[in-house]
Structure 1
Amino acid sequence: MRIVLGVGGGIAAYKVASLLRLFTEAGHDVTVIPTEASTRFVGTATWEALSGNPVSNSVFDDVHLVNHVRLGHEADLVVVAPATADLLAKAATGQAGDLLTNTLLMAHGPVLFAPAMHTEMWQHAATRANVETLRGRGAAVLEPASGRLTGADSGPGRLPEPQAIFDAAMALVQSRSDYQLPLAGRTVTISAGGTREPLDPVRFLGNRSSGKQGVALAVAARNAGATVRLLAAHMEVPAPAGVDVQRVETAMELREAALAAAADSDVIIMSAAVADFRPAEVSDTKIKKRDDTADPVITLVRNPDILQELVEQRNASRAGSGQLVVGFAAETGDSQGDVLAYAQAKLQRKGCDLLVVNHVGMDKVFGQDSNEVVILSRAGSEPQEASGTKTEVSEAIIRRISFELNHVSPRA
C-alpha cells in the first residue's frame, strides 16, 4: 500500500519515527512529507533513512514529477502525525502553501489525522470547529491521548501511541467501501518456523527454518485485510503486530493447533518446516555420554502428515468446501528426479489446492532474506514463479490466494 505520512511541527514528531517503522515493516511504501517547522524537531535525513524514499516539503522540488498533484492522487492512505492546531486549521480551510497541504487537497484515499498539542489548543473552539469540519468531509481525526505534555501540564493533547495510530490507519483503510482489500472478511491461518522434537530435556531434533517466510506471509495477509492466526513454531524473527499468535513446539502440537484452527479458516497456509520424524522415546533425564557404554541408538517414528489431514478434514466437511489449503515443499533434486518432479508428485499425494515449492540447500532459503518459489496448482494451471525478498514473494503468494478465493468455484 502507498502511504503518505505527513509530519507536523510539534515535539511529538520524534514518536512518528516509530510509526513510520511500523508502516515499513508491514511492507508498505511510505513517502514522508514533513512540514518546514517539523524539520526543526526531526531532520529529513531521518525520514529518508527510515522510509527508503526521498523526502521534500517543497512544491518546487522535482517539478517535472508534479508531486503536489501526484502524491495525493497515488496515495492509498494519508496519515498526518502529529497533526498540530496549525495543520488542522490549514487542512480545514483548504490552504495549499506547501507540499503536505497540497497533497491533502489532492488525496483520493482515506485521510487520518492524529492530533497533538497543548490541552487549551485542543479544547479551543476554533480547533474543535476545524476538527468537525474535517470529520464532516470524511477525514478521520483521532482523539488525542491524555497525559503529561511538553511542560509540567497534563491533560488531553498527547500524540496517541504509534501502535494505536497504526491500528487506526489499517482499520480505516479496511472500512472504506471504495477500497476493498482482497482478503477483507477472511480468516487466514498460517504456520511458521521449525518444529523441534525432544530427545531429552536438553536436546531436540530440529531444522534450519528461521520463520522469516511465514512471518512475511502473515504480514502480507494482514495487509490484504485478513484476520490472521499465526501458529508459531521456533522462529528467529519476532511475530508481527496485528495477528493472533499461538505458540507450538512439536509436530504433534502443531497438528492439534492446525486442525482446530481450520474449523473457522477460509485459508490455511502450512509454511512451517515440520519434522517428518520424531524420537520413539523421549528420555526424562539428559542422555549421558559415558566411556563404558555403547553409542546410543535413536529410533525414529513418523509424524502425522498434517497437510494431508487438513485436506481430508476439509473434504469431509460441507462447511469447509470453499476452504483453500496451501502447502509448502522444501525440495532437493537427485538422480531420481528434479525439484519440480518431486513437487508435482507431492501435490497430487497431499491433495492441497496450491503448493509453494522451494529449492533448498545449505545456503538457500533457510535464514535468508530472499527466496525463489514456484507455485503449483492442483487445478492444473501453469506453474507461477515468484522471486525477490521474502516480503515480495509473500505478497505474490497472497495475491495468488486472493485470486483463487475470488475466481474459483467452491469445491464439491
Structure 2
Amino acid sequence: MLKSKTVVLGISGGIAAYKAASLCSKLVQSGANVHVIMTKSATQFIQPLTLQTLSRNPVTVDIFDEKDAAVVSHIDLADRADIVLVAPATANIIAKMAHGIADDMLSTTLLATTAPIMIAPAMNVHMYAHPAVQQNIQMLKQRDIHFVNPGSGQLACGYVGEGRLAEPETIYEAVQQHFLTFESSQLLKGKRVLVTAGGTLERIDPVRYITNDSSGKMGFALAEAAYKMGAKVVLISANTQLKVLQGLENVCVKTTEEMYEAVLSRYDEMDMVIKAAAVADYRPIKQYDKKIKKSDDTLTITLQKNPDILKKLGELKTNQFLIGFAAETNDLEKYALEKLKNKNCDLLVANDVTALGSGFGTDTNKVNLYDKMGLIKELPLLTKEQVSEQILKMAASKMS
C-alpha cells in the first residue's frame, strides 16, 4: 500500500519525539520513501543521525542548509510528498500551521505543500485542552487536515489524561487507511454513472396507489459511493425521503414510465448504470380523477404491464456496464441467474428480502454478486454503504 509513496515525516520538539524512530522504521519497512524534517527543538530529544539511519535519507533541520544547489529544499520536499505526516505535533507547530507562520524548515514546508497533511498531536493534558489549542485544531480540521487523536494515559510530565502521542502502529495504520481511501476515490474517476433508487408509484385515484416497500437507501448509498470514487453521478429517485449528497445530480420521478423516460434519455452518455430502484411492474389501465367510493363488496382494477427498464437497457447496451438488482423471497440463485441472462446485465446483485437485516428499509444488506459465470462473491451482512463499496469495486475491476 505504501510502496513507492513519498512520506515527509515532520518531528517537532516534544518528549514523544523518540517514538518517531519506530514510526519511521515501520514506514520504511512498508516500502515508503521517508524524508524526515526535524525542528531544532526535536533534536534535543532524538538525534538526526538516528532518523537518517532509519530512513536512509538525509534529515533536514536548518532551512538555510541547502545541500543541493539544484533545488530549494523546502519546496522540493513539499512538491515530492504524497503525504506530510507530523508526529509528534506540539502545540507550537499546530499554532504555526493554523496561523500560517513559516519560520523554520518544517513550518515552511507545511505551508508550501499541496499534499495531504496528517497530524498526531502530543502535549500536556492541560495544553491539549486549552481553548487556544482546540481552536487551532478546529481551524485545521476545517482545512481538511487529518488528525490522529492522542491517547489517554501517563504523560512524561507526570499527569494522567489525554495528550499522549498515539502509538506508532496506530499512526502507521492511519497513513495506510489514507492511501486506501485515496485509491478508492480514483476507481471511477472520470466515469459517468447513473443510479436509480426508491420505489415507483402508480396512481389508482387521488388517494390510492400501487407501490412497494423500497426506501431507496441502497440506491442512495450506491450513488454516494460512486461519487466518492470519483464518478460524475446522476441519481434518478422515486418517492424517497432521503437527503441527497451535495454534488450529485438528482432527478425526481414518481411512476415507472417517468423513470423509464428519465433513464433512457441519459443512457447514451453513461459508462455505468446501476438499476437499484424497485419499480412497479404493472399500473392501472384507468386512473380515476375522483376518489372511488365504496359500493359493491368487491372492486376490480385492471392492470397493464409497465415498460421493463432493465431489459430495455440490456437491449440497447453498447459500452455501458449494466448492474441489475434482484430482490427475491426464494430460489435466490436461480432467479438471479435467469434475470442476469434475460436482461443482459454485466453484474447482478441479489438478496433475499425475507432474511434478517436484508429487507426493505433496513440500514444493512446481505447480497450475492453474480456475473455470466455464476456466483462470484457472497457478502456477509454489512451496512449498505459497505455493500455499495464492494459492488462498485467489483464493477470497477471488471470494467478495467
TM range (shorter): 0.5 to 0.7
Q: For 1:179 and 1:328, locate their aligned partners in 2 and report how far apart those are by CA, in whole Å.
A: 23
Q: Cα offset for 1:192?
A: 1.0
Aligned to 1:352: 345
User: How far did 1:110 drift?
Assistant: 4.2
Alignment equivalent of 2:203, drawn from 198, 203, 207: 198
Offset from partner CA, 1:183-217 (integer Å, 9 cap, x none): 11111111111111111222221111111111221
Q: Which residue of the other structure, out of 241, 261, 273, is the alignment partner of 1:256?
A: 261
TM-score normalised by L of structure 1: 0.58
- What code does the residue aligned with 1:327 have? G
Aligned to 2:193: 188
Q: Aligned residue for 2:229?
A: 224
Q: Within the alignment, does 1:281 sit opposite 2:286 as a pair?
A: yes
| Cross-structure match for 1:388 | 381
For residue 312 of structure 1, the aligned residue among 307, 312, 315 is 315
Residue 403 in structure 1 maps to residue 400 in structure 2: no
Q: Which residue identity does 2:329 align to in structure 1?
A: T
1:97-108 alignment runs, 5 A limit: none
Report the secondary structure of 1:257's partner residue: helix
Q: 1:138 to 1:159 in 2, by over 3 A?
A: closer
The unaligned stretches of length 5 or more in structure 1 are 3-56, 75-89, 142-149, 151-157, 167-171, 315-320, 407-412
Residues 111 and 191 of structure 1: CA distance in aligned 2, closer, same or farther (over 3 Å): farther
Q: SS of the counterpart of 2:366?
A: strand
Cross-structure match for 1:302? 305
**Count of aligned residue pairs for this structure pair:** 300
Q: Helix, strand or coil: the match of 2:259? A: helix
Structure 2 contact 215–240 (Cα < 8 Å) conserved? yes
CA distance in 1, matches of 2:240, 2:101: 50
Q: Aligned to 1:191, what secondary structure does the other structure show?
A: strand
| Residue identity in the other structure for 1:367 | G
Displacement of 1:238? 2.3
Residue 211 (structure 1) aligned with residue 216 (structure 2): yes
State the secondary structure of the residue aligned to 2:222. helix
Q: C-alpha root-mean-square deviation of aligned residues, in Å?
A: 4.8
Relative to structure 1, is the Cα distance of residues 112 and 278 closer, same or farther in structure 2, using a 3 angstrom cutoff? Answer: farther
Equivalent residue letter for 1:193: G
CA distance in 1, matches of 2:226, 2:84: 23
If you compute each CA radius of gyration, which structure gives the higher value, 1 or 2?
Answer: 2
Q: 2-side partners of 1:274 and 1:58: how far apart?
A: 59
Looking at structure 2, the residues matched to 284 and 139 of structure 1 have their Cα atoms a distance apart, in angstroms, of 61
- Aligned CA distance change for structure 1 residues 263 and 123 (closer, same or farther; 3 Å): same
Structure 1 residue 133, shift from structure 2 partner:
3.6
Q: Residues 132 and 365 of structure 1: is their aligned pair in 2 closer, same or farther, counting only changes over 3 Å?
A: same
Q: Which residue of 1 aligns with 2:325?
A: 328
Q: 5+ unaligned residues in a row in structure 2: which ranges?
A: 3-14, 31-36, 46-50, 56-79, 87-93, 118-130, 132-137, 146-177
Instruction: Rate the CA distance shift 1:250–1:284 in 2: closer, same or farther, 3 A.
Output: same
Check whether the contact 2:17–2:42 (CA below 8 A) recurs between aligned residues: no
In 1: Cα distance, 2:41 partner to 2:286 partner:
73
Structure 2 partner of 1:27: none
CA shift in 2, pair 1:58/1:231, >3 Å:
farther
Percent identity, please. Answer: 34
Structure 1 300/58 Cα, relative in aligned 2: closer, same or farther at 3 Å? farther
